[in-house]
A and B are shown apart, each in its own frame.
Chain A
């Protein structure tokens, strides 16, 4: 009898007792919690509870992508616009796929192919789109604050897909989702974010998300790539990767964004990669279970050697996969908040 029950249990739990445990916890918690935001502008404004709620929700969306019908109906009849004023492949495709897996219709709107190149302002563009009856705008813009401005001027939900050097909330959410998957929780973890911090909205959003969830974040960069106000941020600062590599549980290697770098922030590419690149040699001194992340696209051999990018500690492709579930969760939640505020 006992033996049979055990078999039943294994079938039921997918072999994962811990996961089941979290679900029960959610069940009790969810009675009080209510997601209220019809816009996702930045993680700086969210509480740890709200961030965890997005991650818990994302967990439920993972299986939509693995089954025979890779689609669920919650955004049926809604229209999502991808309003991208900056180049992007990964994030734009990820949002488009997330929207279509939720059964929304999508419109792609890029700077080059639109009236923006004829001088139309951001708000005019958005209001014109809104006149067509759109429900959610996913916006990427080179000006920090553009998503916030938009959210104050239109009725549709606004989701920030990257604004200037300010925030890229869904990237940070998928980063913490991936870490939580690997380590169970962020509480007490040491995380190094390495590279061009000054020009990185990913580093900023990561910092807010990770510190709120209890991790200790260190920015690692040459002084020329460190933000000017770094002493006012809730992070430690290091100018040497060698100093921190042995101590950290997670290392997030940022891309050197040649398109954003003016002047000569470092003497040569080879010198940068010698001091700040994640090499096979450096990995030997790291913890054996260190989690290696990169927001992509990778400059192989610059931030990271190929063997490390493709190595056993790398979760880079897992990040991309999780990005889809996290973006589905975000689109779902902002729409829920909107549905409940408009009678």
Chain B
């Protein structure tokens, strides 16, 4: 078990992600942030906080539950039984630039499911993927637009993101 990011470093990473996203947006006010349950939700809120501060106005932020769009729902070898939870997006995503936020980009399957779920909610102008940690192991052709930290991880090892809101501490561990 090795800590690759501590609480301080997670915050610093998010701050610099927010700066890059803000620079790319170049003052456009169609930016929205949507986090993938469950840890992406929390990261999205933190990211939206940083962006709101930079823009001087509130950036809309929502939460997406992707359970119904997973590709392993009917597979007995799936990850077990995911709980269906609520999607809470209180704004129209049509013609908006959506920054989709997740904790770890690994196989790419969650990001694929998230895109399918988003498109059933409307037609965004663009979807960009932002992740706290990226690691090797893609199983579908998907890549992130904004990467906080690239982790060197052996196959068989896992990356675990803990956040104070859901896990009682802030850290990213490889083990």
Interface residues of A (CB under 8 A from B): 1, 4-5, 7-9, 11-15, 19-20, 23-24, 26-28, 30, 33-35, 53, 56-57, 59-64, 67-69, 71-74, 329, 332, 335-336, 339-343
Give Cα A33–Cα B56 distance, bound, in whole angstroms: 43
A68 contacts B122, C-beta separation under 8 Å:
yes
Structural contact, A60 and B86, CB atoms closer than 8 A = yes
Give chain B residues whose Cβ lies under 8 Å from the Cβ of A13.
88
Q: How far is the CB of B115 from chain A (nearest CB, A)?
A: 13
CB-nearest residue of chain B relative to A59? B86
Contact B81 A12 (CB under 8 A): no
Write out the residue numbers on chain B whose beta carbons fall within 8 Å of the beta carbon of A61: 84
Residues of B within 8 A of A69 (CB): 120-121
B121, A67: Cβ atoms closer than 8 Å: yes
* In the complex, chain B residues whose CB is within 8 Å of the CB of A30: 82-83
Question: Is B88 touching A68 in the complex (CB atoms < 8 A)?
Answer: no
Chain A residues with CB under 8 A of B75: 339
Chain A residues whose C-beta falls within 8 Å of the C-beta of B172 in the assembled complex: none
A339 & B74 in contact (Cβ 8 Å cutoff): yes
Chain B residues bordering chain A, tally (CB within 8 A): 41
Of B61, B68, B73, B78, the contact of A8 (CB 8 Å cutoff): B61
Asked if A24 contacts B88 (CB within 8 A), the reply is no
Given contact pairs A74-B73, A336-B73, A339-B74, A60 touches B65 in the complex (Cβ within 8 A): yes
Given A67-B120, A68-B120, A69-B121, the answer on whether A8 and B52 have CB atoms closer than 8 Å is: yes
Smallest CB separation, A340 vs chain B (Å): 5
A107 to B76, CA, bound (A): 26
B157, CB-defined interface residue at 8 Å:
no
Residues A12 and B83 in contact, CB atoms below 8 Å apart: no
Q: Interface readout for B56-70 with A: 1 if CB under 8 Å, 0 if not?
A: 111111110101110
**Distance (whole angstroms) from the CB of B116 to the closest CB of chain A:** 8
Q: Which residue of A lies closest to B69 (CB)?
A: A73
**In the complex the two chains form, what is the Cα distance from A55 to B172 in whole Å?**
33
Q: Is B45 an interface residue (CB 8 A)?
A: yes
Which residues of A are found within 8 Å of B65, using beta-carbon distances? 60
Asked if A8 and B83 sit within 8 Å, CB to CB, the answer is no
Query: Given the complex of chains A and B, what is the CA–CA distance between A335 and B68 in angstroms?
Result: 12
Minimum CB–CB distance for A100 against chain B, Å = 14
| 16 other A-B residue contacts (CB within 8 Å) besides A60-B87, A69-B121, A336-B73 | A5-B49, A7-B58, A8-B49, A14-B90, A27-B85, A28-B166, A30-B82, A34-B81, A56-B83, A57-B83, A62-B86, A63-B87, A69-B120, A72-B69, A74-B68, A339-B76
- Which of A5, A12, A26, A28 meets B88, CB within 8 Å? A12
CB contacts (< 8 Å) of B38 on chain A: these are: 27
Contact assessment for B83 and A26 in the assembled complex, using a CB-CB cutoff below 8 Å: yes
**Please, which residues of chain B bring their CB within 8 A of the CB of A14?**
88, 90
How far apart sit A67 and B68, CA to CA, in the bound complex (Å)? 15
Given A14-B88, A60-B65, are A1 and B53 also a contact pair (CB < 8 Å)?
yes
Q: Which residues of A contact B63 (CB under 8 A)?
A: 12
A33 to B83, CA, bound (A): 9
| B52 contact set on A, CB distance < 8 A | 4-5, 7-8
